[in-house]
A and B are shown apart, each in its own frame.
Chain A
Amino acid sequence: MNRLLLFLLLLCCQPLLAQKSTTRQMAPVASGTFVPLYGAAKDRVPVKGFLLDKYPVTNAEFLAFVKQQPKWQKSAVKKVFADQNYLRHWASDQSIGPDAAKLNNSPVINVSWFAAKAYCECQGKRLPTVNEWEYAALASETKRDATNDEAFYQRSLEWYSQPNPKYLPAVQSSFRNYYGVYGMIGLVWEWTSDFNSAMLQSDARAGNSNDQQQFCGAGASNATNVKNYVAFMRYAFRSSLKPSYTVGNLGFRCAQSSKVELARR
């Protein structure tokens, strides 16, 4: 299995490994446990230490990737891997267009899960899991876990409430959290590797039905903290997606398991 994956990986990214990007650095996120939206407070979920990109992937970085990987260009991409809005904010296959100056450093959006996954793999990385992402996103500027920090929570809620700006801000402009990771909240929604494994039902109110077995985080009735609206919104957003979907405010960043990192060194 792994060998097959490695083979596919090589197939995918033969000519290049890890494009060197000036902004592309990773921050270590230390091991710990947290209580996700689903499940009970007593079942804290452990998260192994991992590395996470400091910034979401930018338009410029993704452009470099599609230049080297023509099959991920707009006109070439397979419909099963990306819907018709894939990179719709770009002028053409190899050009962002007249807005390039405004968009180069903004998070790339309108990319499918398949495209995001391929990008990370070509960097020798992977997409973070939902748990890794949620765990890292708990951090405010000063706290590892800002779950009970009202000001931080309200700021997140307000960002989730606002429609998209015409031009997304540069990735460096967002807040730097405890781990040194920027813009987990406040830039774009982000893909996770297993985005569809813990789902709110599309009808968020069907709490105690047998469907729960299909959707681990089914309704509000078995959420740990029914007040955690920002987490609800993230899980709801993930639940509405299919892997070929591209959305105008959905980007991604890559992660790496620390062990792999150590082994490499």
Chain B
Amino acid sequence: MKRSIVNRAVYLLGVAIYSAGILSSCTTQATEPANILTAGTSSTPKELPVVEAELTSPPMVPKPITRKTAAKVVVRLEVREVVKKLADGVDYTFWTFGGTVPGKFIRIRQNDEVEFHLMNHPDSKNPHNIDLHAVTGPGGGAASSFTPPGHETVFSFKALNSGLYVYHCATAPVGMHIANGMYGLILVEPEEGMAPVDKEFYVMQGDFYTKGAFGAPGLQPFDMQKAMDEKPTYVVFNGSVGALTGDNALKAKTGEKIRMFVGNGGPGMVSSFHLIGEIFDTVYPEGSFNTKTNVQTTLIPAGGAAIAEFKTDVPGNYVLVDHAIFRAFNKGALGMLKVEGPEDKSIYSGQILDKIYLPEGGTIQEMPTAKAPAAPKAESKEERITLGKAVFARNCQACHQAEGQGVKGAFPPLAKSDYLNADVHRAIGVVAHGLEGQIKVNGELYNSTMPKLQLSDEEVANVLTYVLNSWGNKGGVVTTEEVIKTKAISKE
């Protein structure tokens, strides 16, 4: 009903305009249309200085703002539809703000007036617009920036609120425009500015939906069904698998203060942003200038952002992930920060030891860095028994059991053991070198493995002395010298 009225009205208006045009075209010269650029309708009484915004492609961030007063900032952002790599051997038609995913980083100051130019490249197939979450006004600017290919639109806004904000395209079908990569970040610095840091990075997560499975090669078309089911084929940082790894890894030096501006374009996924091996000293959750300290993983909603700050203490590779971890290892949500510089063993030692673990135990070898405290030396039989008991508990008890009873059919007994008591030197060899193959103990056959134990000669002497003086065995003392001698003879 309404539609027909509107239609008719539009039609009549069209006819009127057209007729007027025809008539005027026959009579008068048409006047040149006024060029509508620099259209900022400033309501401030004094003229603000005009600044052309510095825009950067990810992972770079424009220089911090040093101005102490507001300015009129001119931002010129070009929309391009480009075919680029989504993963190795996989291409995708990205729709972009400035040729990259995410789009160019915009940095302004609270209370700046922004004159925003949106240019849509003539080769684009579709019209586009922009909704900046930093804008106070209908659609975040979308309604004023609807731009067909080969055109440019201009609107102005005042940045009333500080914060790190997402911008994105809002042209129907909105989901598809965002799913094709149309998002980026705009930082509105607070009036007092931000504390200086050594490095700033721009990272933005997004999910992609392709007809083919993850890694399926070729130019992959958009899969609407997967998008509506919110089952992404790819979840990536900065627009492609590997955008932040290998040669593209972010780089820093030890002792630097790092600030990451992290966004999440979505369209569908919430990011559990985490940097493996670092704790964020400060996080500005949801891009708001209120801080939290000592954060491990910060949640970034679709269409949201966060600022994460930390100091690099220890060199190495630090991996950025969406901690919904299958996305990191199976869908691409993985980046890297390479930190170079001197080691600081007091904070992180690196690997000290790599050895076979067997539940029978094993002792620690010497520490490469610190001096291990000297092992206590037994001065008497009693001390040998006391120290040997501790060695037994750590290394032998798991198999031979607390009372030396062993486990029938698996681990031979030490209590009242004919095999043990018959030959102490043989026992020394077994403890020092281990034993493999069939033996007969107290009439039972055993055929398993006794591992070679990493014990000092002193410990071998002590543990054997303890065993010989427990559970009804024959007693006696095994000295360290005896162990050394026996080991030398029985060396296999």
Binding site for B on A (CB under 8 A): 1, 4-5, 8, 11-12, 38-39, 71, 78-81, 85, 114, 117, 154, 157-158, 160-164, 194, 196-198, 200-206, 213-214, 216, 219-220, 227, 229, 232-233, 235-237, 239-241, 243, 245-250
B148 touches A200 (CB 8 A): no
Top 3 closest pairs, chain A to chain B, by CB: A202-B146, A240-B127, A203-B139
Q: Are B224 and A229 in contact (CB under 8 A)?
A: yes
Q: Let me know if B143 and A163 touch, CB within 8 A.
A: no
Verify B148–A241 contact, CB threshold 8 A: yes
Q: Are A229 and B123 in contact (CB under 8 A)?
A: no
Q: For the complex, count residues of B whose C-beta is within 8 A of A.
A: 55
In the complex, B142 has a CB within 8 A of chain A: yes
**B147, A114: Cβ atoms closer than 8 Å:** no
> Could you tell me the distance in whole angstroms from the C-beta of B152 to the nearest C-beta in chain A?
11
By a CB distance below 8 angstroms, the chain A residues around B224 are: 157, 227, 229
Flag if A233 contacts B172 (CB, 8 Å).
yes
B407 interface hit (Cβ, 8 Å): no
Point out residues on B near A: beta carbons under 8 Å.
Answer: 2-3, 6-7, 10-11, 14-15, 17-19, 21-22, 25-26, 30, 32-33, 80-83, 93, 122-127, 129, 131, 138-139, 142-151, 170-174, 176, 180, 211, 221-222, 224, 228
CB–CB B146/A248 < 8 A: no
How far, in whole Å, are A249 and B149 apart by their CA atoms in the complex? 8
Q: Tell me if A's interface is mostly helix, strand, loop or mixed.
A: loop
Contact of B139 among A206, A236, A247 (CB under 8 A): A206
Which residue of chain A has its CB nearest to the CB of B176?
A229
A117 — which chain B residues lie within 8 A by C-beta?
A: 18
Q: Which of B17, B32, B83, B172 contacts A200 (CB 8 A)?
A: B172
> When A114-B18, A216-B2, A241-B148 are in contact, do A162 and B222 touch as well, CB less than 8 Å?
no
Contact A161–B125 (Cβ < 8 Å): yes
**Chain B nearest Cβ from A188, distance in angstroms:** 10
In the complex, the answer to whether B22 meets A11 with C-beta atoms within 8 Å is: yes
CA distance A84 to B139 in the complex (A): 29
Among B2, B82, B224, the one with the most A-chain Cβ atoms within 10 Å of its Cβ is B224
Question: Which of the residues A8, A81, A236 comes within 8 Å of B172, measured between beta carbons?
Answer: A236
On whether the beta carbons of B6 and A197 are closer than 8 Å, the reply is: yes
B residues within 8 A CB of A229?
A: 173, 176, 224
| Chain A neighbourhood of B129, CB < 8 A | 202-203
| CB-CB nearest in chain B for A216 | B3
Query: Which residue of B83, B171, B228 is within 8 Å of A163 (Cβ)?
Result: B83
Among B7, B143, B149, the residue within 8 A (CB) of A248 is: B149
Q: Are A160 and B125 in contact (CB under 8 A)?
A: yes
A–B complex contacts, Cβ < 8 Å, 12 sampled: A38-B3, A81-B21, A163-B82, A163-B93, A194-B10, A197-B6, A216-B7, A229-B176, A240-B147, A240-B148, A243-B17, A245-B151
